[in-house]
Chain A
Amino acid sequence: MTMRLTFENVRWSEVWQASKDTLAMLGASLVFTIVLGLLLGVVLFLTSRHQLIAQPIVYFLLSVVVNVLRSVPFVILMIMIMPVTKAITGTTLGVQGTIPPLVVAAAPFFARLVETSLREVDRGVIEAAQAMGASRWDIVRRVLLLEAKPGLLAGITITAVTLVSYTAMAGVIGGGGLGDLALRYGYQRFQTDVMIVTVILLIILVQLLQMAGDYLVRRFSRK
């Protein structure tokens, strides 16, 4: 097999469109993932043993749901929740059609990262806040989320990178984006040059996300 890397098959307008689609999927799903994951993570943390709203049964049930969602491979999850996706967005295709499965897959993952970061918050600081007359809501808002900020930023970075690879997989069922491009031209039509271009773009995207995340974590670390 000879490889001719002349990029003769690459249609740059299509690459540009696919890049925009990938960024749109990533951006939208990341926003929803952060909101839902943060909520779920805070609830997981608060209801766990010895914490502010210790509710072992609630914690156990949420924990099971999170574990189930995290153990189903993304591609299968996507197919499984198609009816839900259709009900929410009206389609299972294109950028819109990929957002619900992306969020359903990434939010539980991010929620665990949130729970872990909140666990790192010094118990003494929480106690000091209680002693000053803080309500539980005050503690979540003014203590936990503040003190866990570097950990949460690191968690968002990991989640964003994970989402990039999910968006690529979403191409499998017509999600669009760079993954879709790579699959259609690179794999199905043996246009290796297209595959290489898309992979390079994905690598650059991941690299940029990681660098931005690391920068923010450093910027907000106070230890």
Chain B
Amino acid sequence: MAYDGWQGVIQLIELSDISKSYRTGSVSVEAIKHIDLTIAKGEIFGIIGHSGAGKSTLLRTVNLLERPTSGSVKVGGVELTKLSSSQLQKERRRIGMIFQHFNLLAMATVRDNIAFPLRLAKLSRAAIQTRVNELLQLVGLEAHADKYPAQLSGGQKQRVGIARALASNPDVLLCDEATSALDPQTTNAILDLLLDINKKLGITILLITHEMHVIRSICDRVAVIDGGEVVEMGDVLDVFLQPQHPTTKDFVSQVADSFDPRELIASSKGRLMKINYVGEITYEPLLFNAVRSTSVQFAILQGTVSRMKNTPYGQLVIEFIGEDQEIRQVIANLRDKGLEAGELA
């Protein structure tokens, strides 16, 4: 396992300079271009991008379902591209995968679907039974063990997919749009299950999605991919609060209340500030305290107070009305408390 000394973090997945091109007839399409990506053990890493951005291609290089045209793929320190096919089959048992359309065996019961990887690993009948029962319980499908996939709802099917992927105790779980075929409520239930698995079992999760909601709910870090390239990457909180790239801004606006700053500026009588804050201070009476000793008045024109994974945060647009001197004082008070305050331009 690669060990990154100064950070003290174990890097579980290391993709270096990955490119993949497809040839269709005489035209060659570069689906992903020179991507470097390092994912630490235990984190939930999200990759977001629009349709055709290259998300699936990138994710599928991690277990070599898609062999990159060039570059190196290391999982748990093992260079996968250099393995023989039987060695690769062994390594793949440490990398679970779930799919948008579940990809379950239609002709096998829930129990047999979950047992599939265990049979591949040639476990004894008794060991398989014990393990399958554990997994059924983990995903809450004990009552449906002998049903066939056609008799299950989408959310239940994905639970079978998750149980099957976890059967061989993998280090990593790859999720290819795992919630895109589900309704919002079921999506949240599945995301909670993934978060739970990550916490309880310490499994590293690499997921791709086109929904910012998924990233915001469970991811620690995010990479934004556009045209086969990573255009922005970082902690979800940072990327979310300060998106740089237009594509990222686009995704962030999916979950934020969309507003047009020009409209606000045009109708403003005082000074417009955008304020961001993160963590426990979210729940303190910050604004009240900041203006209390002054005669400044304020109006909240726009705002979100929410949570990202487990971190509360707030994002407000506020109009301060009063004397310049005093408004400067209020802003200084806010900054003292650790808030970010910037003029809305």
Contact = CB atoms under 8 A, between A and B. Distances in A.
Given A142-B116, A142-B119, A223-B150, A133 B105 contact: no
A60 interface: no
Contacts of B104: 125, 128
Given A138-B120, A146-B108, A133 B92 contact: yes
A143 interface: yes
A62 to B, nearest CB: 24
Interface stretch (B21-29, B93-101, B195-203, B237-245): B93-101
A128 B72 CA distance: 23
A222 B97 contact: no
Highest count of chain B CB atoms <10 Å: which of A125, A127, A142, A223: A125
A132 B120 contact: yes
Interface in B76-113: 85-86, 88-93, 95, 97, 99, 101, 103-108
Contacts of B93: 132-133
B204 interface: no
Contacts of A146: 105, 107-108
Interface string B1-23: 00000000000000000000000
A101 B168 CA distance: 49
A140 interface: no
B298 interface: no
Given A128-B99, A131-B65, A147 B105 contact: yes
Nearest to A150: B107
Contacts of B99: 124, 127-128
A69 interface: no
Nearest to A147: B107
B308 to A, nearest CB: 30
Contacts of B227: none
B303 interface: no
B103 A128 contact: yes
A132 B150 contact: no
Interface in A122-138: 122, 124-125, 127-135, 138
Interface string B158-180: 00000011001000001000000
A112 interface: no
Interface size range on A against B: 20 to 34
Contacts of A142: 116, 119-120
A79 to B, nearest CB: 42
A139 B60 CA distance: 19
B166 to A, nearest CB: 11
Could you tell me the dominant secondary structure of chain A's interface residues? Answer: helix
B95 A222 contact: no
A132 B103 contact: no
A146 B149 CA distance: 14
Contact of B150 (A125, A133, A149, A222): A222
Given A135-B86, A142-B119, A128 B97 contact: yes
A138 B103 CA distance: 16
Highest count of chain A CB atoms <10 Å: which of B65, B104, B120: B120
Contacts of B105: 125, 143, 146-147
Interface in A100-133: 122, 124-125, 127-133
Contacts of B86: 135
Contacts of A143: 105
B106 A122 contact: yes
Contact of A127 (B89, B103, B117): B103
A133 B120 CA distance: 8
A220 interface: yes
B180 to A, nearest CB: 14
A130 B116 CA distance: 12
Given A125-B104, A146-B107, A146-B108, A134 B150 contact: no
B168 A125 contact: no
A176 to B, nearest CB: 40
20 contacts: A122-B103, A124-B99, A124-B103, A125-B104, A127-B99, A128-B104, A129-B116, A131-B95, A131-B174, A132-B117, A133-B90, A133-B120, A134-B89, A135-B86, A135-B89, A146-B107, A147-B106, A222-B106, A222-B148, A222-B149
Given A128-B97, A132-B117, 18 more contacts: A124-B103, A125-B103, A125-B105, A128-B99, A129-B116, A133-B88, A133-B90, A133-B91, A133-B168, A134-B89, A135-B85, A138-B120, A142-B116, A143-B105, A146-B105, A147-B107, A149-B107, A222-B150
Interface of B: 63, 65, 85-86, 88-93, 95, 97, 99, 101, 103-108, 116-117, 119-121, 148-150, 164-165, 168, 174
Shortest beta-carbon contacts, A-B, top 4: A124-B103, A133-B92, A128-B103, A133-B89
